[in-house]
Amino acid sequence: MYSKKNIKHYWLMMAPGYIWLTLFSIVPMFGIVMAFQDFNPALGIFKSPWIGLENFRYMFSMDDITQVFINTIVIAVGKLIGNLIIPLIFALMLHELTIKKLVRPIQTLVYLPYFLSWVILGSIVLNIFGVDGPVNSLLSVFGVEPIVFFGREDLFRPLVIGSDIWKGFGYNAVIYLAALTSIDPSLHEAAAIDGAGRFKRLIHITLPGIKTTVILLAILSLGNVLNAGFDQIYNLYNPLVYSTGDIIDTWVYRAGLVELQFSLATAVGLLKSVVSFILIVTSYALADKFTGYKIF
């Protein structure tokens, strides 16, 4: 049935994809050697002098890079936790909604922000929290002086985490909702007949029913501990909040493409890539072990 001549066609089908991958993913990977060079664009990768681990030594001697790593982890972990819990609560609320006609419209509308870019949403958020934006006009009713929200180091992280959760909770709830609908309704009926109230059924039926999904999503999100979200931060931050808001990706962008310190920026980027890679592989292994999840 499956003759050998099919294989040639299979190769032909895969060729465009693998060529694309080679040119734009695999070739750039070799660029990481720049992290061990004093890269000079005029000399190129083959002639630039090798300096071993000098870039890494220099990197760890800088005070601000430690802060950048801390910012990245704090913001990313804040987002991971928020993006795990808030969509869960929302999904549970939506699942309990008795007016079934409303379920679909609500779901359709709440995942709209997920599909808009941070360029758009960032400028909207900056407008809303601006000095003369609606939030400040609301606060002024209570006699609060105007707050420069995005100029305050102490407010930047909560604003970033909060707006990220706002953007994604509807979308992130989709998987929970799918898991909730797959719980056998007869379990609920039996429990109700036995006199279990809504809260008891939530604890004993609903939550155990989606436990695997929650654990799986929690484990898989581990891989994002160093991904604080370049697009969002880049569109919301400014030099005044660098101390709490500058993350690895924004730092690498400025050091590399604005200040043209190619080697240093590559070294920092490489460190991030390697740590992220280890985290993701670990998370996949854990997911496989605890939930039997396989990527393919």
Partner 1 sequence: MVEHKSFGARLFNGVNATLLILITLLCLTPLWYILMISVSDKAAVNAGAVTFWPIGFNLLSYQKIVSEVAFFTSFWVSVKRVVLGTAVSLAAILMMAYPLSKTSKQLPHRNAYMWVLVFCMLFNGGTIPWYLVIRGYGLIDSIWGLVLAGSLPIFNVILVVNFFRNIPGALEEAAYVDGAGPWRTFIQIFIPISAPVVATISLFTIVGYWNEFFQGLVLSTKQSNYPLQTYIQQLVVNLNLSTLDTEQIKQISQLNNRSLNAAKIFIAMIPVLVIYPFLQKYFITGITLGSVKE
Out of 68, 121, 180, 219, the only residue in the binding site for partner 1 (CB under 8 A) is 121
> Which of 99, 100, 141, 143: binder of partner 1 (CB under 8 A)?
99
Q: 81, 160 in Cβ contact below 8 A?
A: no
By the rule CB under 8 A, 65 interacts with partner 1: no
Q: Using alpha carbons, select from 113, 96, 283, 287 the residue that is nearest to residue 206.
A: 96
**Residue 73 Cβ, how far from partner 1 at the closest point, in Å?**
18
Joined tokens for residue 232: 């969002």
The nearest distance, CB 263 to partner 1, in angstroms, is 8
Contacts 24+ apart (CB under 8 A), 205-208: 206/92, 206/95, 206/180
Smallest separation, CB 27 to partner 1 (Å): 5
- Spatial separation of the C-alpha atoms in residues 179 and 94, rounded to whole Å: 13
Tokens 């994002």 correspond to 224
> What distance in Å separates the CA atoms of residue 191 and residue 43, rounded to the nearest whole number?
74
Residue 235 CB, nearest distance to partner 1 (Å)? 7
Instruction: Output the DSSP codes for 149-194.
Output: GGG-HHHHHHHHHHHHHHHHHHHHHHHHHHHHHTS-HHHHHHHHHT
Q: Which of residues 176-205 bind partner 1 (CB under 8 A)?
A: 178-179, 185, 188-189, 192-193, 198
* Shortest Cβ 90–partner 1 spacing (Å): 7
160 vs 216 by CB, closer to partner 1: 216
- Contact between 295 and partner 1 by CB under 8 A: the answer reads yes
Distance CA 288, CA 273 (A): 22
> Helix or strand or coil: residue 292?
coil
36 binds partner 1 (CB under 8 A): no
Q: Which of residues 265-284 bind partner 1 (CB under 8 A)?
A: 265-266, 269-270, 272-273, 276-277, 280-281
For residue 34, give the amino acid letter.
M
Does 142 engage in binding with partner 1 (CB under 8 A)? Answer: no
| 139 counts as binding partner 1 under rule CB under 8 A | no
Q: Of these, 20, 62, 211, 259, which contacts partner 1 (CB under 8 A)?
A: 20
Per CB under 8 A, which of residues 45..64 are in contact with partner 1? none
Do 268 and 252 meet the contact criterion of CB atoms below 8 Å apart? yes
Q: Residue 42 interacts with partner 1 (CB under 8 A)?
A: no
DSSP strands (E only) in 1-101:
none
- Contact stretch for partner 1 (CB under 8 A) within 52-60, 62-70, 71-79, 261-269: 261-269
CB atoms within 10 A of CB 215: 15
Q: For partner 1, give the closer residue by CB, 67 or 273.
A: 273
